[in-house]
Structure 1
Amino acid sequence: MNTERFIGLIVFLGIFISVMFVFYPTQDYSNTKLIDQKQDTPNVSINKSKSENKVFSEEGFMSFSESDFDFYVYRAHVLSSQKNADKLKEKINNGGFPSFVEPFGDKKELFAVYVGPFLTEDDIVNNIKLIQELSESKKGEISRWKL
């Protein structure tokens, strides 16, 4: 029995060594450079000006700021108490949606609770039931929002 095990071990090692010999790479790839490190990098300068919006640089890239994009918000409630508005905002935030409170109206005595901003109106429409449940409102309004 021991002789059979010894012969099996020798056969296994022979097959293993021959497989290693066949599949072992012959070329040393460790010294090969895949990236030419002598490439010249272009000089890029950042120009900060007051008129950042829609300005072409020398390379032809346009720069944008946050105010160039339209976002969408859902106005859930308009409340007379800022304390209650803040509580509702926290409830919506804990539910997983961004929200904020802003003064509302001509005299700024009311406080509007907004859910968002979202990138598209579809983000609000797809989650409207959950948003209405969290905000405890059925008569909210979707509107555009500029930062």
Structure 2
Amino acid sequence: MPETAAVSDPWEYCLYIPNDLRAVTVSRRTLRLILTMHGLIGQVDVAELLAAELVSNAVRHTKGPAALRVRWAGGVLRIGAWDADPAPPEPPVPLERVGEAEEGRGLALVRACADLWGWQPLAREGNRGKVVWCELGAA
């Protein structure tokens, strides 16, 4: 499928995952398949890195289930990780301190590689917690 075919129609996927570090690998591989099937092969490597960091944070720093959310609309790929903890994520460390930092390295990578990133608390349809997300424009 050519990459230009992906820009025509918006789509969205959600993969619910358990609180298990193996879910990071499952999420990365699922994301790779989704992007490949939609012709976004040029986005796969960076998107996989970003998804792995977001899902890893959701699984490592919370006790409940999590979810990987992926959406394509208007030439923008949005990757998000939902978790049941409403507390904000730890702020990313500055890139020059990534090697010495104990925490915040993942979000530093997200901040460096994504076009835009953020987080938002959720409290709708019985889903509490937060989504930490990032966006990538069309490659």
Normalised to the residue count of structure 1, the TM-score between the two structures is: 0.27
Q: Which structure's residues are more often strand, by fraction?
A: 2
TM-score of the superposed pair, with normalisation by structure 2: 0.28
Larger CA Rg, structure 1 vs 2: 1
